[in-house]
A = this chain, B = another copy of it.
Amino acid sequence: MAGMPKNAVAIGVDIGGTSVKLGLVDSKGRILARETFQSGRSSGRETILAGLSACVGRLAAEARRRKLPLAGIGIGAPGPIDVERGIVYFFPNLPGWKNTPLKKILEKKLHMPVRLDNDANAMALGEFTFGAGKGVSDGLALTLGTGVGGGIVLGGKLFHGPAYSAAEIGHLVINEDGPRCGCGNNGCIETYVGNSYFAREVRRRLDAGEKSVLKKWLAEGKELSPYLTWQAAQKGDAFACRFWEETGAHLGTALAGLVNILNPSLIVLGGGIAQDKPRFLASVVRAIRRKAFPIAARSVKVVPAKLGTDAGIIGSAALVLV
């Protein structure tokens, strides 16, 4: 933030469906101290608010002990929010949060500035500030998981759009006749690279007669997941390798369109499946090179995310530090 001391720190809060993770993060994106507590369906809103206050109190004390100025609290929220006013519309996996003015509640209770954004945006800002996109001012970040979240960074800042609902990259349509998506549309990116697609489609093809070591593993009781498929690919299983490449090509096709629209300098891909460079990432890049306009295609790099499981904490802190 403009005018912030160089040694300013912030508290980053990553609210998840099973736990809430907090960190005291310095201006270089390093986590100086951590706190965590359980959330989960049984925790009511008040329990989580109390947990947040206690953890923030301890981290603020740690900042004081280190004589570091605390700039505020950044929160990455796992659901739709009003970024401008800091209101949680609801959390899909946590009960009791409907229309909670979280920013107002915490600012009143904790006497420091609070910024709220969705977790995919926070992750994007974190990667472009401290991670794989450090020093790059224009680009996209996608988190590939159960769903596909995304953030757009323009001129070093998150792009929210005038109604604060931009950057839903997972819901760009790549096939209007494609599979039904949870958002109500068909053929969104998410329906082609989300974890549930992955498992369902691998299963379908195995049932249709594809030969693969996965059949044996599944018969042994292993659970079908992107990770299991990746293990098969690592062993040279032809079906698994092909499936990874094909998934990368789907994502690459979608990204080629986005490259034509946004001309990003960098695309950061987070989540387990993005760590597979030789097959998945290479296939993404091939599709972009082949399908986007040459100038835009040449000017974009695609890299895996760097911040790993700390992306939520560091990205949320970046909401306050940038």
Contact = CB atoms under 8 A, between A and B. Distances in A.
Nearest to A168: B260
A263 B166 contact: yes
Interface stretch (A53-61, A126-134, A249-257): A249-257
A160 B254 CA distance: 20
Nearest to A181: B291
Interface string A133-152: 00001100000000000001
Nearest to A250: B176
Interface stretch (A13-21, A63-71, A107-115, A292-300): A292-300
A295 B263 contact: no
Contacts of A262: 161, 166, 261
A176 B263 contact: no
B257 A163 contact: no
A184 interface: yes
A100 interface: no
A163 B298 CA distance: 10
Contacts of A275: none
Q: Which of A80, A159, A171 has the most CB of B within 10 A?
A: A171
Contacts of A36: none
Interface residues of A, number: 48
Contacts of A290: 184
Nearest to A188: B257
Given A165-B293, A165-B295, A152 B185 contact: no
A307 interface: no
Interface in A159-175: 159-169, 171-175
Given A152-B261, A163-B296, A164-B295, 10 more contacts: A154-B154, A163-B263, A163-B298, A166-B296, A171-B293, A172-B257, A172-B258, A173-B254, A173-B256, A175-B177
Interface of A: 80, 137-138, 152, 154, 159-169, 171-177, 183-185, 187-188, 250, 253-254, 256-258, 260-265, 290-293, 295-296, 298-299
